[in-house]
């Protein structure tokens, strides 16, 4: 009996200590509005069970409690904001460079460790080392890849002409994956059997979804729970298939001498990673992880940006016609016409359409930073060290206090120069901002614009699915509960 009493006392003392050690977090609840999370499970469970991970979960709370709120991911406090002033506080603060460790762990456990998982100060050197892989001159050298792969996509789309509404998303993902793999790992990857059959897209999609589940439900990261739910086996199977392709390419790099300075691929991601490997700065596994994460980050976002743009233009034919007229002036002939960078620079209206698409349906719906010391926001609230702040890009881009009562409507005029000047500079953040912004933002815009030139010059896009009926799903990259089918008709 005495032993039991001692255990109860010890347990009570431990619980009191635990609560006391987290007192600053609980005091934060008094200073910030938001829903009260369930013990241990937090607020995410309601999202998964009731809302089925729909973004309307956060829409409800932001509309109810205000533009900056406190929620809970399991027992972890999670601040969410759509306020451009708070967004600027976070992206410009040297104490908010670090990605959320919880989110980093969720992703790296599925795809390996790389630039994404680096924290202060290590990420600065790693980012600086990989910057040449996304320089303007190198991106221009990728045009032959954009051209070849877009021609393959066009051949497939040709089979959809006059066939009614068709699911084009799988082909968009394959197109973008082939480009991302080649621009990350070099032309050698084209000869790999796993690349040729296109099956790896499903593997990457599965890992992205698994990473999202790890983020929303921290308990799933527990090895025992993951095994009981069969998540661990599914993750391992998909990861293993991806690793076979990576091994085939990286092994050849290991056994070859370093690329000469005249090699056009000297600065692509895999070669920058191999340079670190040969210096002993990273492991063989890290080389593969850098490539894996870069491919995953690049292909999914670019493919969906192109698809979302096509869908929005299908719903707004007057804007599609305006884009078509601009494309006809730049490219008088249909088919596989040549596209140069100067040509694309002239397409102002298409540029505004893409930006408006990324406003309404950003490729990444939310990103998170973790405070490495106390941070005082511009609203006066002191955020304790170690708290995660989610910059909700989706809702920042639709904040009616910034974008007006028609914030949800499609209007490329939002990006006329005179309108941009009137807005807060952090009201539009599809690629984040600050020192740790998206390293591949220019790559994403360039590859997406290239494909849209060809598709929209050659086809009229239509759909019966209405824009207002889209249902957005919480994920690492933007997902829809249902992907509308598109109808293609050939242009002349």
Q: Tell me the pLDDT tens digit for each residue of 268-322.
A: 999 999 999 999 999 999 999 999 999 988 898 999 999 999 999 999 999 999 9
Euclidean distance between CA atoms 127 and 396, whole angstroms: 26
pLDDT at residue number 256: 73
For residue 386, what is the enclosing H or E element? none
The answer to whether residue 49 scores a pLDDT higher than 60 is: no
In a domain, 309, yes or no: yes
- Tens of pLDDT, residue by residue over 396-432, are 999 999 999 999 999 999 999 999 999 999 999 999 9
The residue ranking higher by pLDDT, 240 or 38, is 240
- Tens of pLDDT, residue by residue over 61-116, are 999 999 999 887 666 788 999 999 999 999 999 999 998 887 888 888 888 888 88
Instruction: Retrieve residue 22's tokens.
Output: 């987290």
Summarize the confidence of residues 181-208 as an average pLDDT. Answer: 84
The answer to whether residue 47 scores a pLDDT higher than 70 is: no
Count the Cβ atoms, other than its own, within 10 Å of residue 394: 21
pLDDT at residue number 467: 97
pLDDT at residue number 156: 96
Residues in the chain: 492
State what percent of residues in the chain have pLDDT above 90: 60
In a domain, 17, yes or no: no
Binned at pLDDT 50, 70 and 90, residue 54 comes out as: confident
Q: How many separate domains does the chain show?
A: 1
The answer to whether residue 255 scores a pLDDT higher than 80 is: no
Looking up residue 233, the CATH number of its domain turns out to be 1.10.630.10
Summarize the confidence of residues 334-338 as an average pLDDT. Answer: 93
DSSP secondary structure string for all residues of 406-468: TTTS--GGGGSHHHHHHS-TTS--TT--STTS-TTHHHHHHHHHHHHHHHHHHEEEE-SS-GG
The residue ranking higher by pLDDT, 8 or 58, is 58
pLDDT at residue number 22: 60
Of residues 432, 435, 309, the one with CA closest to residue 364: 432
In a domain, 15, yes or no: no
DSSP state of 490: E
In a domain, 53, yes or no: yes
In a domain, 474, yes or no: yes
The answer to whether residue 157 scores a pLDDT higher than 70 is: yes
In a domain, 12, yes or no: no
Euclidean distance between CA atoms 471 and 420, whole angstroms: 28
Summarize the confidence of residues 186-214 as an average pLDDT. Answer: 81
How far CA 474 is from CA of 138, 163, 272, 331, 369, in Å, comes to 33, 32, 33, 38, 17
Range of the domain at 191: 26-490
pLDDT at residue number 226: 67
In a domain, 13, yes or no: no
- Tens of pLDDT, residue by residue over 226-247, are 666 666 777 788 888 888 888 8
The answer to whether residue 51 scores a pLDDT higher than 70 is: no
The answer to whether residue 262 scores a pLDDT higher than 70 is: no
Say whether 203 sits in a helix, a strand or coil. helix
The answer to whether residue 60 scores a pLDDT higher than 60 is: yes
Average pLDDT in the chain: 88
DSSP secondary structure string for all residues of 255-307: HSPPPPTT-TTTTSHHHHHHHHHHTTSS-HHHHHHHHHHHHHHHHHHHHHHHH
In a domain, 3, yes or no: no
């Amino acid at each position: 009996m005495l032993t039991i009493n001692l255990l109860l006392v010890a347990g009570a003392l431990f619980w009191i200590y635990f609560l006391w050690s987290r007192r600053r977090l609980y005091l934060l609840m008094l200073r910030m509005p938001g829903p009260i999370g369930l013990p241990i499970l937090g607020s995410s469970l309601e999202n998964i069970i009731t809302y089925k991970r729909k973004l309307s979960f956060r829409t409800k709370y932001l509309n109810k409690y205000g533009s900056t709120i406190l929620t809970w991911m399991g027992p972890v406090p999670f601040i969410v904001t759509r306020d451009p002033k708070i967004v600027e506080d976070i992206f410009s603060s040297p104490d908010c460079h670090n990605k959320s460790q919880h989110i980093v762990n969720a992703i790296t456990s599925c795809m390996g460790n790389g630039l994404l998982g680096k924290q202060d100060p290590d990420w600065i050197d790693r980012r600086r080392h990989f910057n040449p892989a996304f320089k303007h001159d190198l991106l221009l050298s990728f045009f032959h890849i954009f051209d070849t792969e877009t021609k393959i996509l066009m051949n497939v789309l040709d089979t959809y002409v006059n066939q009614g509404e068709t699911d084009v998303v799988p082909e968009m993902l394959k197109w973008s994956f082939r480009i991302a793999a080649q621009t990350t790992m070099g032309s050698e990857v084209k000869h790999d059997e796993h690349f040729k059959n296109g099956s790896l897209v499903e593997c990457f999609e599965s890992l992205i979804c698994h990473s999202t589940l790890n983020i929303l439900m921290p308990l799933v990261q527990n090895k025992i729970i993951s095994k009981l739910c069969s998540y661990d086996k599914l993750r391992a199977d998909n990861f293993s298939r991806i690793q076979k392709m990576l091994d085939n390419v990286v092994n050849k790099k290991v056994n070859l001498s370093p690329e000469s300075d005249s090699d056009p691929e000297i600065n692509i991601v895999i070669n920058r990673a191999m340079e670190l490997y040969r210096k002993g700065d990273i492991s063989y596994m890290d080389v593969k992880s850098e490539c894996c994460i870069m491919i995953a980050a690049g292909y999914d976002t670019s493919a969906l940006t192109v698809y979302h743009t096509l869908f929005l233009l299908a719903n707004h034919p007057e804007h599609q016609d305006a884009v078509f007229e601009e494309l006809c002036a730049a490219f008088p002939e249909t088919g596989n016409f040549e596209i140069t960078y100067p040509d694309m620079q002239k397409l102002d209206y298409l540029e505004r359409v893409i930006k408006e698409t990324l406003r309404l349906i950003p490729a990444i719906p939310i990103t998170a930073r973790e405070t490495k010391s106390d941070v005082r926001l511009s609203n006066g609230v002191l955020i304790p060290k170690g708290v995660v702040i989610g910059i909700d890009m989706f809702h920042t881009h639709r904040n009616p206090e910034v974008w007006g009562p028609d914030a949800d409507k499609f209007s490329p005029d939002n990006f006329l120069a005179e309108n941009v000047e009137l807005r807060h500079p952090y009201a539009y953040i599809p690629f984040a901002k600050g020192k740790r912004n998206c390293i591949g933002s220019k790559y994403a815009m360039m590859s997406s614009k290239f494909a849209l030139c060809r598709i929209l010059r050659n086809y009229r896009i239509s759909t019966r699915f209405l824009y207002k009926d889209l249902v957005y799903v919480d994920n690492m990259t933007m997902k829809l509960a249902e992907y509308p089918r598109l109808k293609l008709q050939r242009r002349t």
